[in-house]
Amino acid sequence: MTRVLTNPQPVPAASFDVQRVRADFPILGISVHGKPLIYFDNGATTQKPQAVLDAIQRYYESENANVHRGVHWLSQAATRGYEEARETVRAFINAPEACEIIFTRGTTEGINLVAHSLELSGLKPGDEIIVSEMEHHSNIVPWQLACQRTGAVLKVIPINDAGELQLDAFTKLLNDKTKLVSVVHISNSLGTINPVGEMIRLTRNRARNALVLIDGAQSVAHHPVDVQTLDCDFFAFSGHKLYGPTGIGVLFGKRAVLERMPPYQAGGDMIETVAFTGTTFAPLPNKFEAGTPHIAGAIGLAAAINYVQSVGFDTIVPHERQLLAYAADRIGSVSGVRLIGTAKDKADVVSFVVENPPLGTYDLGLALDREGIAIRTGHHCCMPVMNRLNVSSTARVSLAMYNTRSEIDRLVAVLTAHIGEQKARLATRHTQSKATGTSIASLQFAPQTADTIETAAAELLSDFELFDDAQGKLQYLEDLGANLPELPESLKTDATRVHGCMSIVHLVARGMPTEPGRIEFLADSDASTVRGLVGMMQRLFSGQDARAVLAFDLDAFLKRLGIDKIVTTRRRIGLDGLIKKIREQCARLTSKD
């Protein structure tokens, strides 16, 4: 029998040859910015072994056809590969029947499928759905929407300061009104391993009619999972976090539960008969697989599962446990670093912030990327977790079977050097800003730099053209940010906060006292690159006529600058929010005229 996920203690992994495993992943041999790639963003997506790449290519080269509908040889071959993949998944998680394996686009669609179908099948006012405070947004928002539409109530299991679920509080939430418990197996932002087996047992005892869904996106690549031993009603996971392709996922559901649920989507292959007087639906699993499925994705997922099983969890688990302990110890020992998420039972994630000096995680991500090291920074689609633990974002190192101690050592060396460099830089900036006022009335706002926005834009374009590569332009932005006055701490409040994913931005804006139709503002960020973008916005807009600001095509200007080629998506770093607040202030100024 496949083992249920537990928290094994580190044991010797002498039979695990990490270099042999690494050789199976072509991408691990590339360089980034002239440095060997070190990939620590496995919680977002894992890399793909050659066996998966070969399986996908083989399908498209020699078996490409639609499934379930053709009598010709190619269709039969494609159907056979697709259904064999379903059986591979069934065996992998020890589901009783292949028909209980529904192929989806990923964990998110699996959760939405359940939410939509349960909503249609009778959620009513007063029914209760329980999630936890550490859930990914994809296991919060679908239930919020279902509650809004039906009158059901969303209940939340709190977490403690270590990032662990409070089981006593969970037990008190369970009652006869509970219709569903939906919790994550392993937290993507903290690495906490939740005691889902115990939670399912408690649910069965105290809320007998409730269903239980487990978000297994982060668990299936790191530990064996047995859905029969767990006794969950649903288990959802994504292929791309299991060394498989993107766009393919799995929803396991107990046959009796799935048969009661109405379809999630309608279309081809999910019907039995169609007439204008009515339609009947196909049996499981087809009832929940409308349209042409991701055939190559399913075949690639099966290849990924076969690969993982060929390596063996008996060697993967101890190797990754040793790596986790080593990474947590090394990163946590760096001066100024505080680990976020210190649960007793953890898997493969080390999240942290730098508090001394206070550094934005966005800057950390960029600094590490310049050395070829890929980590994830931001709220990791877990804003409630960040709010609970009183951080805006974290830097996250998420491990996989192909990572090594030497990679962790390299990360720590670069991180240590970056903290030292930023400490020296911030000391200079703080000295320069001591005279800054502590109230809006006493602030020295950024001056107008050109007669018109168009003139200021032309000057910025001219400056950017001096640099041939993205690194030079990025350095120019950072220099712009270094020259900004720092906004006083007393003005960094919720009222001035601009929410971004990977940075903190504060903005103070007003109409100029001498010329009320003109806007002036100051802004600040914990990320040096974002401070540079703030400086660019000040050069463009501060002191300018509010109507001109509203009329200026900023998107076109930023595209001409090539900003998208040197920083990540603007929505993620707070720039969109900054622009929105500036325009809102301009709109208020023009409405007074």
What does the block give as tokens for 109? 């669609």
CA distances from 534 to 483, 575, 576 (A): 11, 8, 11
d(CA 12, CA 34): 35
Element (H, E) at 14: none
Catalytic residue among 99, 147, 232, 381: 381
What does the block give as tokens for 218? 């982060």
Measured on CA atoms in the order 37, 40, 43, 46, is the torsion positive or negative? positive
d(CA 178, CA 204): 11
pLDDT at position 339, please? Answer: 98
d(CA 151, CA 132): 20
Instruction: Give the predicted TM-score (pTM) of the model.
Output: 0.90
Residue 344 one-letter amino acid: K
Classify 569 in phi/psi space as left (phi over 0), alpha (psi -120 to 50) or beta: beta
pLDDT at position 572, please? Answer: 60
Residue for token digits 């192929």?
A: 103
Ordered alpha helix ranges (H), 381-527: 383-388, 405-432, 453-464, 470-482
Smallest Cα–Cα separation from 426: which of 486, 367, 496, 476? 486
What does the block give as tokens for 409? 């050592």
Classify 263 in phi/psi space as left (phi over 0), alpha (psi -120 to 50) or beta: beta
d(CA 214, CA 217): 9
Contact 395, 414 (CB under 8 A): no
The SS3 call for residue 304 is helix
Neighbours of 335 (CB within 10 A): 10
Residue for token digits 């809102």?
A: 584
d(CA 482, CA 476): 10
What does the block give as tokens for 378? 């931001």
Q: List Cβ<8 Å contacts ≥24 apart for 368-371.
A: 368/411, 368/414, 368/415, 368/418, 369/32, 369/33, 370/33, 370/471, 371/33, 371/35, 371/410, 371/414
What does the block give as tokens for 344? 């007793």
What does the block give as tokens for 547? 């109507």
Element (H, E) at 30: none
What does the block give as tokens for 516? 């009320």
| Distance between start and end Cα atoms, the chain | 75
- Give the burial class of 459: count Cβ atoms within 10 A of its Cβ; 0-12 exposed, 13-18 middle, 19 or more buried: middle
pLDDT at position 500, please? Answer: 61
Which residue numbers in the chain have pLDDT < 50? 1-13, 430-437
What does the block give as tokens for 405? 């101690």
Mark whether 381 is an active-site residue: yes
pLDDT at position 561, please? Answer: 87
d(CA 538, CA 269): 56
Measured on CA atoms in the order 411, 415, 416, 418, is the torsion positive or negative? positive
Measured on CA atoms in the order 286, 240, 190, 89, is the torsion positive or negative? positive
How many whole angstroms from its chain centre is CA 438? 37
Smallest Cα–Cα separation from 339: which of 399, 407, 411, 389? 389
Contact 248, 212 (CB under 8 A): no
pLDDT at position 469, please? Answer: 82
- Determine what percent of the chain is predicted with pLDDT higher than 90: 71
Paired sense of beta strands 249-253 and 234-238, if any: antiparallel
Smallest Cα–Cα separation from 362: which of 225, 477, 218? 477
Q: Please give the order of strands across the beta sheet that includes 153-157.
A: 101-104, 249-253, 234-238, 211-215, 178-184, 128-132, 153-157
Classify 81 in phi/psi space as left (phi over 0), alpha (psi -120 to 50) or beta: alpha
